Amino acid sequence: MRRKSRQRKVILDVLKRTKTHPSAECVYREAKKVIPNISLGTVYRNLKLLQSVGEVSEISCEGDEGRFDGNPHLHYHITCRQCGKIKDVEDILFYNIEKKVAAVTGFKIVNHCVGFQGICPECLNK
């Protein structure tokens, strides 16, 4: 049975309040501000555990590997090729594509993800 450790709570809290989709290393640095002797291994272990219970997710799509999102709801991401920032894409979701793909491939679909790459407004104005 799972216990609530202080470390896990802090890690989850960091993810919930950090909007920049931090890497494991970055979560570690933030968590260290609260628990100075927390270890990187613990961060990895908890990120994995929190993913497995669906409380956080790991972002991925072309070059965004190893960054995490404390928002567990399905949503898409967009990455700036110039400055590297990752933002959430709001209000766009394709619920029906899973059915379509199931029909075409014969797979039972359990999830999908979508990622965009581009240049953000700030970088465009430079």
Of positions 5, 16, 63, 83, contacts its own copies by CB under 8 A = 63
Would you say 37 or 111 has its CB closer to its own copies?
A: 111
7 binds DNA (CB under 7 A): yes
Contacts of 21 (CB under 8 A, 6+ apart): 59, 64, 67, 68, 69, 77, 86
Count of all residues that appear for the chain in the document: 126
* 29-41 burial: b if 16+ Cβ within 10 Å, else e: ebbbeeeeebeee
- Near DNA by CB under 7 A, which window of 2-10, 74-82, 104-112, 118-126? 2-10
124 binds, among DNA, its own copies, none (CB under 5 to 8 A by kind): its own copies
β-bridge mates for residue 59, sequence order: 67
Residues lying near its own copies in the complex (CB under 8 A): 58, 60-65, 76, 78, 80-81, 87, 89-92, 94, 97-98, 100-102, 104-121, 124
